[in-house]
Amino acid sequence: MRGDLHTLKRVCSYASVVMLIGEVAFIVLAVGMATYGILAFTDDGMRSSYINLIKCDPTDMSVICSAIEMTLAFLAMFITVKVIHDIMVAVQKEHSPFMEDTPKGFKLICMTFLILSVPMTILEFASRGDIVLALCVLLVCIFISVVMYCLTIIFRYGHLLQDESDHTL
């Protein structure tokens, strides 16, 4: 058992560095996408480049909706990577991966994707006009929320069992 925890701590040590890099990357992408969307209104060449990159309709509304949608997606990914990074750092310091705050982190990810599912679906449809793609965005957000909620329940139960085991000893 001790070897498994030691391995988990070592993996979390390396993976937390990757997650930290991911945090920076998703913040840069969110800010960059918002800026790029705004700049698409200042220059025709920039607008054409933006439309070709994002594959949205050339209308003003489509460009605005796609910029907002992409920014929200990158912010959701930032929250996800940040929470996972925090969990990994905590696992490195504790005697068990089943800590009191771990389920709260997974629940935050769950709620983030659940809350963003509707606006991102609407924005996807408004930017591209494709109902199938919009429904895929909705289903992916709901799927991520369900998985994260399941992890919330699993880690909450694991924490209760760990706490009970610690009190027994």
pLDDT, tens digit only, all 169 positions of the chain: 456 878 888 888 899 999 999 999 999 999 999 999 899 888 888 889 998 888 888 888 999 999 999 999 999 999 999 999 999 998 888 877 888 888 999 999 999 999 999 999 999 999 988 999 999 999 999 999 999 999 999 999 998 988 887 777 6
Q: Is the pTM of this model over 0.85?
A: yes
The contacts of residue 146 (CB under 8 Å, 6+ apart) are 110
CA quadruple 60, 64, 67, 69: dihedral positive or negative? negative
CA–CA distance, 12 with 137 (Å, rounded to integer):
30
Structure tokens at 3: 């070897």
